[in-house]
Amino acid sequence: MRIPRPLLALSLAVALAGSAANLLAEDGYRLWLRYEPVANEALAKAYRNAIGPIVADATSDTAQIALDELERGLSGLLGNKRSRSAPKLLVGTPQSAHIAKLGLDLSELGSEGFQLAQSGKNLVIAANTDQGLLYGVFAFLRHLQSAGSLDNVPLTSTPKIDHRLLNHWDNLTRTVERSMAGASIFNWFDLPYYVEPYYHDYARACASIGINGTVLTNVNSNATVLRPQFLEKVAALADTFRPYGIQVYLTARFSAPVEIGGLETADPLDPAVIKWWSDKIDEIYTYVPDFGGFLVKANSEGQPGPQAYGRDHADGANLLARALAPHDGIVMWRAFVYDFEVKEDRHKQAYTEFTALDGRFEPNVSIQTKNGAIDFMPREPFHPLFGATPETPHTLELQITQEYLGGDIHLAYLAPMWEETLESDTFATGPGSTVAKIVDGSVFGHNLTAIAGVANIGNERNWTGHPMGAANWYAFGRLAWDHELSSEDIADEWTRLSFGNDPNTVATITKILLGSHQTVVDYSMPLGLHHIMYPGHHYGPGPWHDQGRPDWTSTYYHNASERGIGFDRTVSGSNALGQYAPEVVEKWGSPQSIEDKYLLWFHHLDWDFQMKSGNTLWNELCLTYQSGVDRVDEMLDQWSSLQGAVDAQRHARVTALLRRQLEDAKFYKDACLAYFHTFAQRPFPEGVEAPEYSLDYYKNFELYHVPGHPGEQW
């Protein structure tokens, strides 16, 4: 991508003119809550004529936050020129006389829903609770910020999933596993004495998209957080987040009774252990009366768990669940378990383990299950556990941080990937039993419903490092609230809130966002390839990696040889496919009927296999890698066209990131094709650039001190 010099000069001039006029430097701190003045004068006038004095009576901290937000939003969007004679904006719950007398039917709203309504000339934001009110205020402001018409204000909205959580993989040392956006936002050493003002901004941002819980600590957990000294710190955070409707959760280290409790065992059936957890949990509630509960990673990747004592996951989860139940706390017990000593395909292990335990869990236990059965790969078919445990609810775990998708360096808008999972049909009780409907409890009638996103937030000024990374935080929250929203609509909404409503800017950015996930897949792990990343830090390619435990190598997953490539998970192979419903098996069981995007996930095929496009597999693989690279180039072009239309600060940062992404994409493609070529031994098809260097170059290339790598000490 080269910009001709005269054009470059022109675009620079436009950029400068633009920034002098109204494009103030934007560091990203305000996220999607910018409340810039409404640019369209006619619209601003219409808003001013429709929104006059606010009528409200705040009786709680939450209501006060909602009203402050409303004032802040309206004065940002409309200035101080609002007319006193314009119709009123009535805000409140039926506890307030001005809402009660409207006689609105709020019976369907529950404790978190809200209604935006028109009553005569007046606009109304109503809810049953102050938390619902807060969500209603954010929805109203979102509508105005995205230039919504006043005719479309009425809206009734309730969340489809009750527990909508961020999972922070943050350590007490402030390092963050798999995140590149700086250090942890939780400044443990200063707590509880100093409560950083930005904790409020974090909670406000979460609340604005409906997130109502946060797990403060890494799944690879540290028992120290359960010590009184730390519980005081947790309490300070909980106190800060509470008025924003955000509950605090912690990860529980299963061996805590031994590590900090002085017991000899952590056996979940041992009376002393049962007592220890029960006392510990009672103690936690003295610090945090509305503590949400525990997230637990046990017997996985070296974490302690009940199996060390010959017990199973249900024994472990129930131990904690019984002690939490009197306080209304819950346990999210992770299904991300696999063991390299078990010879079964890693893909199958969680299903085998947890379907056998269905019916044994306490009612306040939810199995926290990643979207796919391996591990947050750039694309995964849905996890076969969804729909397979009628008695046990699932918390869907999504990864917002881009561990395998280029960290915070690559632009990858993840909502289309999450949408793909949510819409996947498990056929559990017949067609339409989508993952979304398993998770929202409707398929099996579960009351405990939850969804979690592994956060991409750090102490970078703009929170997420990549300015576009905020779109993923935003999209997670919006989908968690309503999984029927489309990734397109969310992209459009986020772009308007974050970059304004100029039609060309909105169209260009949403186009970039919507194609970006597929682009990353194409230049890294296309056609169902997976787990071929560089070991350890996971940034960049490592298809040759074959050392150490097999289920952490790349060769275990791609099986490339002269005879072809792919993982045979059909009946002739590991038959992981057999864990899905017959309708799914029928579609995915044949390389002719399965979608290309999952092909090599389930099938091992000859290099000359005929693809639907008419290309051989080898040619298709090469062309897909190449198209991924080419599309980064296009993104760069599209983004460059916005110079002057987007503030210079974010424009420059995204430009620099896209340039690096282009180099990385080329590197990924070249490294993988150089490696696979050694087996395929066929020419590169026309239109595909042969790798720039020899395979050895890529193999020997090392990146140092990649952020977020748990093996790094820094």
Q: Least distance from C-beta 700 to ligand BDP, angstroms?
A: 23
Q: Where are the alpha helices (DSSP H) in 22-129?
A: 41-50, 61-78, 97-100
Q: Hey, is 274 helix, strand or coil?
A: helix
380 binds ligand BDP (CB under 6 A): no
* Interface of this chain with ligand BDP, residues 695 to 714, rule: CB under 6 A: 710
675 binds ligand BDP (CB under 6 A): no
Pick from 641, 329, 344, 597: which is nearest to 502 by CA? 641
Distance CA 326, CA 342 (A): 37
| Interface mask toward ligand BDP for 397-426; x: CB under 6 A | ------x-----------------------
Name the residue nearer to ligand BDP (CB basis): 197 or 302: 302
Residue 231: CB partners within 8 Å, gap ≥ 6?
A: 225, 283, 284, 287, 288
Distances in Å between the alpha carbon of 618 and those of 83, 609, 681, 683, 694?
67, 8, 9, 9, 19
Active-site hit among 26, 162, 403, 419: 403
586 is catalytic: no
- Which residue in 60, 64, 75, 220 binds ligand BDP (CB under 6 A)? 220
Angle between helices 487-499 and 415-423 (to 10 degrees): 150
The rounded Cα 582 to chain-centroid distance in angstroms is 30
Number of residues that bind ligand BDP (CB under 6 A): 11
Q: Hey, is 562 helix, strand or coil?
A: coil
640 binds ligand BDP (CB under 6 A): no
Distances in Å between the alpha carbon of 476 and those of 125, 480, 582, 687?
24, 6, 31, 37
* Interface of this chain with ligand BDP, residues 319 to 338, rule: CB under 6 A: 336
Distance CA 544, CA 555 (A): 7
562 is catalytic: no
Name the residue nearer to ligand BDP (CB basis): 336 or 607: 336
Name the residue nearer to ligand BDP (CB basis): 503 or 711: 711
- Which residue in 70, 78, 219, 273 binds ligand BDP (CB under 6 A)? 219
Q: Least distance from C-beta 320 to ligand BDP, angstroms?
A: 18
Active-site hit among 301, 339, 482, 502: 301
Name the residue nearer to ligand BDP (CB basis): 376 or 473: 376
375 binds ligand BDP (CB under 6 A): yes
Q: Least distance from C-beta 706 to ligand BDP, angstroms?
A: 12
CB atoms within 10 A of CB 687: 11
Name the residue nearer to ligand BDP (CB basis): 130 or 403: 403
Q: Which residue is nearest to ligand BDP (CB)?
A: 375
DSSP 467-491: GGGHHHHHHHHHHHH-TTS-HHHHH
| Interface mask toward ligand BDP for 174-213; x: CB under 6 A | ---xx-----------------------------------
The rounded Cα 471 to chain-centroid distance in angstroms is 10
Q: Least distance from C-beta 177 to ligand BDP, angstroms?
A: 5
Q: Least distance from C-beta 420 to ligand BDP, angstroms?
A: 19
Whether the ω angle into residue 192 lies within 30 degrees of 0, i.e. cis, is yes
- Which residue in 82, 168, 233, 297 binds ligand BDP (CB under 6 A)? 297
75 binds ligand BDP (CB under 6 A): no
Distance CA 100, CA 608 (A): 71
Active-site hit among 375, 397, 408, 440: 375
DSSP 570-630: STTTT-GGGGS-HHHHHHHTSTTTS-GGGHHHH--B-TTPBPTTSSBHHHHHHHHHHHHHH
Contact 156, 120 (CB under 8 A): no
Distance CA 693, CA 701 (A): 11
142 binds ligand BDP (CB under 6 A): no
Contact 253, 202 (CB under 8 A): no
- Which residue in 47, 249, 276, 376 binds ligand BDP (CB under 6 A)? 376
Q: Hey, is 695 helix, strand or coil?
A: helix
264 is catalytic: no
Q: Least distance from C-beta 597 to ligand BDP, angstroms?
A: 21
Q: Least distance from C-beta 520 to ligand BDP, angstroms?
A: 16
Q: Least distance from C-beta 126 to ligand BDP, angstroms?
A: 41
Question: Interface with ligand BDP by CB under 6 A: which residues?
Answer: 177-178, 219-220, 297, 301, 336, 375-376, 403, 710
Active site (catalytic) residues: 301, 375, 403
